[in-house]
Amino acid sequence: MLPLVPRPASIRTRGGAPFAIVPGTVVLAPAAAAGPAEVVARVLGEAAGFVVPVQRAPDEGSRHGAGTPRPAVVLTLGGEQPGVAPDRAREGYRLTADAAGVHLTSPTVDGLHRAAATLRQLLETRATSTIIPDVQIDDIPRYAWRGLSVDVARHFLTAADLESVIELLAAYKLNVLHVHLTDDQGWRLDLPSRPELVARSSAGAVGGDPGGAYSVADWARLVRHAAARGVTVVPEIDVPGHVNAALHAVPALNPDGVAPEVYQGTAVGFSSLRRDVPETVPFLADVFADLAAMTPGRYLHLGGDEAHHTPPDEYVRLVGAAVQAVRAAGREVVGWQEIAAAPLPEGTVVQLWDTRADPAPVVAAARAGARVLLSPADRVYLDMAYRPGHPLGLDWAGCIELHDAYAWDPATTVPGLDPAAVIGVEAAIWTETLRTRDDVMAMLLPRLAAVAEVAWSSSGDWESFRERVAPHAASWDRAGLAWYPSPQVSWRR
């Protein structure tokens, strides 16, 4: 059984001689595919112990161009898939390997990144050689949005820490990093139009721990790092609740003009913007305009959750103002499920998280043209403890072992929701109890691999998944990643 996670749509092992990576092996790619070609070359070189160079493909229109040197790993853009929804087809790919060479083909650069992730998992290092087995894989994702939300507000993670998270996402064919940048405890992104936000509200964290913020340069580097691996960054500025850090930094956002104290606790729902305060609408316009200017992509996330102290009518007005600011910045809206109470533009992404709440507003929003991103807390909130008494994590949504993160179907999770309205699956990790990169990684692994399979293919074969994920522990060890040795798997390190 090939140890591939997530499981590809089609695998055909042919029993022939494998492809061996030897001195002289090259990666061939057109100029447009330079990004995934560099990733492939680095992965092959690390496995084999010598440099594998990238060369320009001699004939970009052919997989087997005349004069192609051997041995070679060839990347090609092409291979359209008629009859498949475009947002899924763009990441489909074919990977073939035999003794003569390896070929990765996809309609897009992002699809080649997914093929590269599979190639990495196919590598076998033996005593004297590194090989890729004789195989043909045809693959396509189930959902177009496959992501992870990371809270950097409760405890700060450096740009380098998030780059490590991006590497993990790319390894498991996840394509969105959603960064929860602001909350009651801290404001983590320097915005050119509002420098007071990080100047006054970035230094602290939960429990009085050190804070931090991303400079404009930090953020640009992070976005580039993600794009070079086929990952889109979706930034979140959480409004109208979860705003104590903003209220502290900008006294004019408070009705009485008096800023609240810095907050270092973990309670939620106590802070709110006020629609009739003159500073509120200009603040929203500035924040989301800067965010759009700093972050390429279609989406900005406006939060919208747990605004318990915002009166319902005012909540709707504030969400409307935030939606208007996002749209004025030229982006589409993403928000937590509570925003379904407000009128939303068609195509808005509503992110369902609270399985305790009535899903009817989300279902109604989908019928009116919204798309639904599934983040059920009792399955994919990966800050939940693995088991009672686990030293990290919370348990308000229950304990989540590896099987719990795996054994669910997005198509049937929300009663009454048309499966066609589901745009994808996104795990989340909140950092009230997580202080370091190792803490975060230990809660992500191995459960993030399970969520990746749910999002890419399915979760229909737990026994197969247990076998396929077991040898991944060795790669996590090599990468220096902390992880939890779930007793539900016989790990091979």
Q: Which pair of structure tokens corresponds to residue 337?
A: 């499920």
d(CA 155, CA 461): 36
Peptide bond before 446: cis, by omega within 30 degrees of 0? yes
Annotated catalytic residue within 306, 338, 426, 432: 306
H-helix or E-strand spanning residue 301 = strand 299-303
Distance of alpha carbon 71 from the chain centroid: 34
Cβ proximity of 401 and 445 under 8 Å:
no
Q: Which pair of structure tokens corresponds to residue 406?
A: 């795996």
Nearest to residue 148, comparing CAs of 409, 424, 469, 403?
424
The one-letter amino acid code at 107 reads P
Q: Which ranges of 27-68 would DSSP assign to H, the alpha helix?
A: 34-48
Q: Which pair of structure tokens corresponds to residue 74?
A: 């060839």
439 in helix, strand or coil?
helix
How many residues would you count in the chain? 493
Active site residue 306: yes
User: Phi-psi bin for 315: left (phi > 0), alpha (psi -120 to 50), beta?
Assistant: alpha
305 in helix, strand or coil?
coil
d(CA 380, CA 383): 9
Cβ proximity of 267 and 154 under 8 Å:
no
Which residues of 40-107 form beta strands (DSSP E)? 54-56, 72-77, 93-98, 101-106
- Known catalytic residues are 306
